[in-house]
Structure 1
């Protein structure tokens, strides 16, 4: 096989963008052969704009069983990701799934198990892993340059007005999206938080505020505290109600600290590890000598195209994946744990109690303002309008 025949499921914002990249030959080795969307207007758009060689289907099942594709890109609402991926695996197809992997880890775990049984190439659209700055941070941590991790802090704001939330009845609802800022805006940061330091917390205590700044039923302001197995601690703070926005990631280790802000990495490097300084220093007040270093960042962020190209290369040539699909459960575990901690007003140990989370989520879905059966935009397959 010298080409991967790709089908895109959901021709909303992201599905449309992905199809354009493939048709414009930006994804080497990929050929767009099919798309599907439950909305008639989007199917009509596809027929008019994607060319005669691209078959247009109404449902994912029709596309998946068509024999027109070798792999699918899933760009549908959050709740559908796992179900569609599992159907694709059952039909011996490769899968690239938009973020998040799903809404709750119980469904994502089932997806991961189906992927393992199918033995197909499975990736997730964690396109920010292609950012050279975060790749460099991971390199500095994993190589031991920062020493043992002691503390992490990420403050990330996503300003969203009420009119943004009012633009779709599915937005910021338990039934429509499955959450708020954690499930919609923050999946990339939650993934990078654990990916760059190469470890997950052992327990989480979180304080989610629901409708604090906007008239929404889900969380729009979150402060979470975590503890790691090695004794390190962490904070994750996010909101859609803060202006101006902040995006600042701090990592503290035995050998200094890293600050990532405005796509720049600053490393305050201790000349000797703090542990060694503490053992040797006898002068009372004192501080290890440290050097402020601007870490050079080389390369460009290839984004969505980079992840798609990497997925195709993995199918054709066995290239290692930048964002293996199975790793989507890690960031989702963190957001599920933050919700569950707030709902129970207690620490949540990882791995979380998936049945307890699912039960509490269902209670909120039952009371949600969004009714898929009645909403005018019930078939809205948009992705990427974060």
Structure 2
């Protein structure tokens, strides 16, 4: 196992060769002293093609073969329900893990992953690259230094477009068993993470959801609205949808007891967010788009986020080398999953639900 203070190149492997994996390869190669030595995918032809496209010398056919190459760290870029098996196998071999979000679709599964990594003494991180935006860090600093007062209100909007091909071209998307949920689990999760990074734990949630647009090809929600009470006492309103044409972007705004509001706006999707509202005395600034823009393809969204994948992977490599916690830990990802689990239970029960009630995510289609 790679431990703090070890010298020499860090050997990285890629598990899963889908759309986002290229960002990981490029990011590792941008860090001094890191070599991407191997990749693996359940589809061996895709692994070989990916290896050829990215000049990776060793596409392999099993996790054991990957670990036997002496990798120090892996990126997990496979479908959500497969994450647990990969992460636990890596922990057993003493290999550090950076996992794409969500770390899994079930709270108990996520707890097993976190525990296995803690017992093995390996670094376990999850990709929430939007935390690395300067605009996101600026909001965090404004909360921590008290300049907006104690936060009392958060407003989150995730207003996106997805067409039918987004789901039909990738069979595991849009089902409870393999995707674990819809717009909440796959897109809005980034803003669940930001909300809790800013305001801490959630005490309870009350959520309504439905499938208004994509019901012919998905069984999960495409639209939701949630009220949250944070453990701090703050209140949050959270809306999300993939039913818009065109999408209208994503934003989060935090209001403090001093009356000040600070926020960020991601538009179009994948673009580095700007602080669209900064209502702090002496620093007031507002920025809004002058026109509605066309929706971006998933490839363009991923490409636009690549610099922040790179920043997060740079941070993760530094954490592995130093034996410190990465910017986003497995515990952070588990906390987001607990909150989403409560939101899904509330969709089904029609009642407020608490993240601490660690029940499985609902696997029934939400209905009106």
| TM-score, with structure 1 as normaliser | 0.80
Q: Do the aligned residues in 2 keep the contact of 1:134 with 1:196 (CA within 8 Å)? A: no
CA offset at residue 301 of structure 1?
8.9
1:268 aligns with 2:293: no
CA offset at residue 79 of structure 1?
0.5
1:350 aligns with 2:361: no
Aligned to 1:44: 48
Aligned to 1:11: 17
Cα separation, 2, equivalents of 1:126 and 1:47: 25
Q: Do the aligned residues in 2 keep the contact of 1:135 with 1:196 (CA within 8 Å)? A: no
Count of aligned positions = 331
Cα separation, 1, equivalents of 2:23 and 2:276: 30
CA offset at residue 291 of structure 1?
5.6
Any gaps of 5 or more consecutive residues in structure 1?
270-289, 365-386
Aligned to 1:109: 111
Judged with a 3 Å threshold, the aligned counterparts in structure 2 of structure 1 residues 28 and 224 are, in CA distance, closer, same or farther, namely same
Q: Do the aligned residues in 2 keep the contact of 1:159 with 1:240 (CA within 8 Å)? A: yes
Tell me the secondary structure at the aligned position of residue 185 of structure 2.
coil
**Mapping of residues 68-79 of structure 1, within 5 Å:** 68-79=70-81
CA offset at residue 233 of structure 1?
1.0
Q: Do the aligned residues in 2 keep the contact of 1:5 with 1:30 (CA within 8 Å)? A: yes
Aligned to 2:225: 223
**Mapping of residues 1-386 of structure 1, within 5 Å:** 1-22=7-28, 25-51=29-55, 54-64=57-67, 66-197=68-199, 199-209=200-210, 211-215=211-215, 216-244=218-246, 245-255=248-258, 256-262=260-266, 263-269=274-280, 293-294=284-285, 302-318=307-323, 320-354=325-359, 357-358=360-361, 360-361=362-363
Kindly provide the CA deviation profile for residues 191-241 of structure 1, in whole angstroms up to 9, marking residues without a partner as x.
1111123x12201110121x2111221000010101123432111100001
Q: Is the deviation greater in 256-265 or in 84-93? A: 256-265
Cα separation, 2, equivalents of 1:246 and 1:15: 24
Runs of 4+ that moved beyond 4 A: none
Judged with a 3 Å threshold, the aligned counterparts in structure 2 of structure 1 residues 33 and 208 are, in CA distance, closer, same or farther, namely same
Tell me the secondary structure at the aligned position of residue 105 of structure 2.
coil
Cα separation, 2, equivalents of 1:70 and 1:247: 36
CA offset at residue 173 of structure 1?
1.0
Judged with a 3 Å threshold, the aligned counterparts in structure 2 of structure 1 residues 194 and 301 are, in CA distance, closer, same or farther, namely farther
Q: Do the aligned residues in 2 keep the contact of 1:132 with 1:301 (CA within 8 Å)? A: no
CA offset at residue 310 of structure 1?
1.2
Q: Do the aligned residues in 1 keep the contact of 2:338 with 2:358 (CA within 8 Å)? A: no
RMSD: 2.3
Judged with a 3 Å threshold, the aligned counterparts in structure 2 of structure 1 residues 163 and 13 are, in CA distance, closer, same or farther, namely closer
| TM-score, with structure 2 as normaliser | 0.84
Tell me the secondary structure at the aligned position of residue 313 of structure 1.
helix
Tell me the secondary structure at the aligned position of residue 38 of structure 1.
coil
Q: Do the aligned residues in 2 keep the contact of 1:29 with 1:312 (CA within 8 Å)? A: no
Cα separation, 2, equivalents of 1:344 and 1:67: 48
